[in-house]
Structure 1
Amino acid sequence: MTNENASPRPVHSPCIGVCALDEKDLCIACRRSGMEIAEWGVLDDAEKRAVLALIRQREADDKQS
């Protein structure tokens, strides 16, 4: 039996505490942009999931480079 009133699990930050932006304004550790890092606390879960999808794409692009 599922509880329809239960809130979904929150989307956690991909931050691992190594905060340094590269020449493309992307964190070398979590691959978020400076703006994505700054706005993370005010994004809703759908927006956070969209950022996580961008991160996965950036990681895939990095592997192809």
Structure 2
Amino acid sequence: MNLEYLDSPHDHDLLLASQINSRPLRRLVQLALGLSTESMDLLTALTDRLRTAEGALADPATSGEF
């Protein structure tokens, strides 16, 4: 795939996001594009907490990772 015509890194990210098959995940990625590093860190932390709450990640408070 030739990406030479794209002007900015954001354009590359948008193109890649548009190729995600899962509609909810694609929407989440598209909404996150352009966020500051701090906001991306918050989003990642929130995602980790949600996955922990759903049992998809070990709870760091009880797994001895501190």
Using the size of structure 1 for normalisation, the TM-score is: 0.43
Larger gyration radius, structure 1 or structure 2: 2
Instruction: Report 1 or 2 for greater relative contact order, CA contacts < 8 Å, sequence distance ≥ 6.
Output: 1
More helix by share: 2
